[in-house]
Structure formats: structure tokens, C-alpha cells
Amino acid sequence: MTSGRFVPFFAGLLLLTTTACGGADTRCTDCPAVEGRYRLQWNTSGGLPSECALMGVELPTDERMDISRTGDRLTSQLANIPLRGSISAQGNFLLTGSGAGAPTGGRTDTLSLSGTFAAPVTDGGTASLSGVFSGSYVRASGTGGQRCDVSSPFSATRD
């Protein structure tokens, strides 16, 4: 007959093992120093879908993105869209946001950047980001509207 006294101990040991040994991302208290200004580069080997050109959608080429961090919370802006998100102790991050896109035409842009932060390897080295950018661009109209979805790998180095 067991009293169940050891169940919490083993559950805690299992949690410690999965988070400390490569398990799921964990919230950080001493978070990676991701903050700074990054120059984004896109890998759009196939180009953007044709419906994107009709809507005036372009990837923000050569744009710099400033990332601010408070604890594990991140804020930034890309193509005039405010982004919010978080970073894990392992350096995985997610930034998302939505807002008015093109100044004319009533387009709504929803942007997402997910990826990994790599700290400088040596003193004087450069921090970098890599991951996937996703954009959903929608223009509503009485005749059904228009939609364009973009997904592109990206990389960025801190200035």
C-alpha cells in the first residue's frame, strides 16, 4: 500500500529533467540579451505570390528592426506594424502584430517572426537571429476582398 507521498517528488524530478535537459522552452529570468537593432535579410527565392503584387505587398527589404526586452517580453516594429512577443531561456522567440498596412486602400497586415537568437560566440562577435517570417495581408471589400499570404525564411545580424 502506498500513501502517494512520493508522487510529488517524482513529478518534480520529471519536470526538472524535461526542462533542464532539452525539453520544452522555459520562461527565463536571466533572459538572452536579444535587444538591439537588426538588419533583416529575406530568402524569397521563388518571389512573392502574384496576388501580393496586386495588393502592393513587398517584404521590408533592408529595413532595420529595433527589439526591446523587459524580462522575457519583447517589443519591436516592422513595416510600421507594432510587434509584441517573448523569448525563452533557450533563445527561441516569437514576435507578432497586426495593424493598418499600406497607407491607402484599407489593408490590414498581420505579421509574425519566429526563430532563434544566437549570442555572439566571441568578444566583439555579432549576435544574430534566424527563423521564419509570416505575413497575412487582407483588403476587405464588398466584392469579397483580396488576400495575400507570405512565408519566408529570414536572417538578421545586430548592427
Q: Tell me which H or E stretch contains 57.
A: none
Residue 47 lies in a domain: yes
Q: What is the CATH number of the domain that holds 79?
A: 2.40.128
- Does 36 map to a domain? yes
Nearest-5° Cα angle at 79, 145 to 149: 40
Residue tagged 531561456 (cell numbers)? 89
Whether 19 is in a domain gets the answer no
pLDDT confidence of residue 91: 95
pLDDT at 109 over 90: yes
- Segment 12-28 shows an average pLDDT of 48
Q: Is residue 20 over pLDDT 80?
A: no
- Tell me which of 6 and 157 has the higher pLDDT: 157
| Domain assignment present for 15 | no
Domain extent at residue 123: 32-158
| Domain annotation covers residue 26 | no
* Amino acid residing at 137: Y
β-bridge pairing 128-139 and 81-87: unpaired
Whether the full predicted model's pTM is greater than 0.75, yes or no, is yes
**Residues β-bridged to residue 82:** 77
- For the chain, what is the radius of gyration of the CA atoms? 20
In a domain, 143, yes or no: yes
The residue-averaged pLDDT of 93-106 equals 83
| Look-up of cell digits 524535461 | 18
Q: How many CB atoms lie within 10 A of CB 19?
A: 15
**Rounded CA gap, 71 and 81, in Å?**
22
Establish if 1 belongs to a structural domain. no
Beta-bridged to residue 100, according to DSSP, are 108
What confidence tens digit (pLDDT) does each residue in 145-155 have? 889 999 999 99
Nearest CA to 74 out of 136, 129, 150, 24 is that of 129
Is 53 in a helix, a strand, or coil? Answer: helix
User: For residue 6, is it within any domain?
Assistant: no
Mean pLDDT, residues 75-79:
94
The structural domain count of the chain equals 1
- Identify the band that residue 63 occupies on the pLDDT scale cut at 50, 70 and 90: confident
pLDDT 10s digits, 132-142:
999 999 988 76
Instruction: State residue 17's pLDDT score.
Output: 33
State the CB neighbour count (10 A cutoff) for residue 42: 17
pLDDT at 96 over 80: yes
Task: Work out the mean pLDDT of the chain and round it to a whole number.
Answer: 82
> In the structure grid, which three cell numbers stand for residue 2, read together?
502506498
